Amino acid sequence: MAHSAPTSPAAPVVTPASARSLAPWALLVGLLALVLLYFVGAEQGASSVFSGAGVHEWVHDARHLLGFPCH
């Protein structure tokens, strides 16, 4: 009686992503980063989108962490 060794399933072939397939994701991440940078760095005073100091208070510690002056 012949015994055969168990075989493992073939590993999937992973191809590197092309720049064309990554471009929409890179654009989305870039836009989200710019929006976050705006809210942390400039959302107060004359350039304010929202009235009041609510957004400033929510991102206050992040402003100091990133080196933006606020008071």
Q: Which structural domain range is residue 43 located in?
A: 37-71
Q: Under a CB-based contact definition with an 8 Å cutoff, are residues 50 and 38 in contact?
A: no
Q: How many domains does the chain have?
A: 1
Per the domain annotation, does 51 fall within a domain? Answer: yes
Per-residue model confidence as pLDDT tens for the chain (71 residues)? 667 766 777 777 767 778 888 899 999 999 999 988 887 777 776 667 777 777 777 888 888 888 877 77
Per the domain annotation, does 65 fall within a domain? Answer: yes
Per the domain annotation, does 23 fall within a domain? Answer: no
Q: Under a CB-based contact definition with an 8 Å cutoff, are residues 43 and 55 in contact?
A: yes
**Structure tokens given for 10:** 């073939």
Per the domain annotation, does 14 fall within a domain? Answer: no
Q: Which pTM was predicted?
A: 0.58
